[in-house]
Structure 1
Amino acid sequence: MSLPQPVPPSWKDLGKSSNDLLGKDFHINGTSLEVKTATPSNVTFKVGGSQDAKNLNVLNGDIEAKYTDKAHGLVFTQAWTTSNILRTQVEAENHLAKGLKFDLSTSLLPDSGKKSALFTTIYKQPGLHTRAFLDIFKGPTFTADTVIGRDGFLLGAEASYNVTEGKITRYNTAVGFSAPEYAVTLHGLGNLSTFAASYYHRVSPDVEAGAKAIYDTKATTQGVSLEVGTKVYLDAAAFVKAKINNSGVLAIGYTQALRPGVKASFGLALDTQRLNQANPSGPAHKVRGLRIRIEIRH
């Protein structure tokens, strides 16, 4: 008799381990600060701000409040940004059926009257994870994706359908294998015009490694873009990450837990092919960044 199958990851989380390893904790594009607090009544507040290294005169930020009712499977989120965008999200889970979740996300720009609304349905069961999205004001466009899994093997697909035009506007597919120590994923994206392969390996409890290769059949310059990286835990409160791509750009990130709930991250990017130039030009030769995250809970 076969073992019970776990719920597979969603479409957007296929290859997540590799994407997180190569994409997160490299704060090289400016400075950001995030403060998050939680109350005993299940209300959390989050304030975030960021300053881009290329435009020091602009500071972007937002304030967010989230209420969670775990007993009834309800989550209500309201946010307001410095761009004067109002975002609202309502989530309801396990109401009509176990594993079924509804999500309504809206945004409104009062100055221009621009608005958007995305209604999402998610259904999760052992061996199955499927989602359906309806973009009410754009198209309207209906998008659905499904991932099925068995014994570590994963198969997923995604497609978008424009209701007004009556045609499929986008389709993608993916296959992969996931185990506790490693994961491998192959994506066919952009109507199967772009192919991406990624792998993740937890070498030991303190060391992780991963890589990602992308081949775009429509690119003007032929070839495969390759990126490899690693993460090393120095101790229980600090880790360092490094990655390099086939263009010779090296990125390094360092994250330190200063105290419970307070983390600081630093990043640095170097173009290793231009280190000997006195006055380097072109893409960012040296870029530095800082991110501080504070979380306060009762």
Structure 2
Amino acid sequence: MSLPQPVPPSWKDLGKSSNDLLGKDFPFAGTALEVKTSTPSNVAFKVTGNQNAKTNLINGELEAKYTDKSHGLVFTQAWTTANYLRTQVEAENHLAKGLKFDLNASLVPDGAGKTALFTTTYKQPGLHTRAFLDLFRGPTFTADTVIGRDGFLLGAEASYNVTEGKVSRYAAAVGFSAPEYAVTLHGLGNLSTFSASYYHRVSPDVEAGAKAIYDTKATTQGVSLEVGAKAYLDSAAFVKAKINNSGVLGLGYTQALRPGVRASFGLAVDTQKLNEVTPSGPAHKLGASFTFEG
């Protein structure tokens, strides 16, 4: 008798452990601030702001989210300093258990930019499938599916342009996920770009990962490789390091200052240009991020 199968990750979350290890907690681009608060009436507010170290431009966003858990409804409204309005409505487990509907719309009042993406997600043991309809681009219909059994994962994605009447994009992936490690292989961009990722929880305090990308259409042939590791110093702090085959070394340090307050610092060093200054400034990057959550 086979064991019950868990719900596999969605298409976008295949290889997430490796992507998070190599991509998160490295605030290189500048200084960022995030403040989260919530009210007893199930309304959560989030204010984010960041200053780009290269352009010195400051961008911010104010988001309000209302959650009605008893009816499976979530309503989100956001407004950015670029006068960009975003509205999202989510409804889950209404027509069937595991079925979720999501409408994500955005508008630029002083311009012509507008989007409307309708998403349907269905999750069951061993199956995670999604369908998207982009009303203002094409319109375009996109669907992806991930099936899983005993840790093995198989996924595929395809987009169909309704106006042109043809498949505009397709991709596939295979992988294996276990509590201590995960391996994923993607074929993206109509199977023109291939990526392989690996994640390993070496011990409760140490994680390691790697990602390799090969683009068959790139002008310079070769494989892009990036490896990284994360180590917990104690229950409130950890350090991360990564390096790619271009010689760029990334370092990150995150410290929980107190419950709900976290600070992260990042440094990117181009080891091949230690003493060089590019036309836009130094070849190295330094940044910080602060998060307050109440």
Counterparts of 1:216-295 in structure 2 under 5 Å? Answer: 216-275=215-274, 277=275, 279-281=276-278, 285-295=283-293
- Give 3-state SS (helix, strand or coil) of 1:180's partner: coil
Match of 1:85 in 2: 84
Q: Which residue of 2 aligns with 1:47?
A: 47
Aligned with 2:130: secondary structure? strand
The 3 A distance-change label for structure 1 pair 214 and 128 is same
Shift of 1:282: 7.2
Determine helix, strand or coil for the equivalent of 1:247. Answer: coil
SS in 2 for 1:244: strand
CA apart distance, 1:272:
1.1
Mapping of residues 1-298 of structure 1, within 5 Å: 1-56=1-56, 58-275=57-274, 277=275, 279-281=276-278, 285-296=283-294
How many corresponding residue pairs? 293
Secondary structure, in 3 states, of the residue corresponding to 1:239? Answer: strand
SS of the aligned residue for 1:101 comes to: strand
1:156-190 deviation digits (Å, cap 9, x = unpaired): 00000000110000000000000000000000000
* Secondary structure, counterpart of 1:274 in structure 2: coil
Runs of 4+ in 1 over 6 A off after TM superposition: none
Counterpart residue identity of residue 24, structure 2: K
Q: Please list every run of 5 or more consecutive structure 1 residues that lacks an aligned counterpart in the other structure.
A: none
RMSD of Structure 2 on Structure 1 (CA): 1.0
Q: Distance in 2 between matches of 1:282 and 1:110?
A: 36
Does the residue aligned with 1:28 lie in a helix, a strand or coil?
A: coil
Question: How many Å apart are 1:269 and its aligned residue?
Answer: 0.6
For 1:252 and 1:271, the matched residues in 2 are separated by 12
> 1:41 is aligned with what amino acid?
S
Secondary structure at the counterpart of residue 97 of structure 2: coil
In the aligned structure 1, how far is the partner of 2:24 from the partner of 2:224?
A: 19
Give the drift of 1:69.
0.5
Matched to 2:289, the amino acid is R
Give the Cα–Cα distance (whole angstroms) in 1 for the partners of residues 195 and 144 of structure 2. 18
Amino acid at match of 2:71: H
The one-letter code of the counterpart of 1:37 is: T
Shift of 1:281: 3.3
CA distance in 1, matches of 2:27, 2:108: 29
Letter in 2 for 1:285: A
Q: 1-side partners of 2:262 and 2:194: how far apart?
A: 36
CA deviations on 1:17-66 (whole Å, 9 max, x unpaired) are 0000000000011001000001111100001100101111x210010000
CA shift, 1:115, in A, is 1.3
Give 3-state SS (helix, strand or coil) of 1:22's partner: helix
- Give the C-alpha shift of residue 286 in structure 1: 1.6
Q: 1:26 to 1:179 in 2, by over 3 A?
A: same
Which digits, 9 at most, give the CA deviation of each residue in 1:229-286, with x for residues without a partner?
00000000000000000011000000000110010000001011222x3x44379522
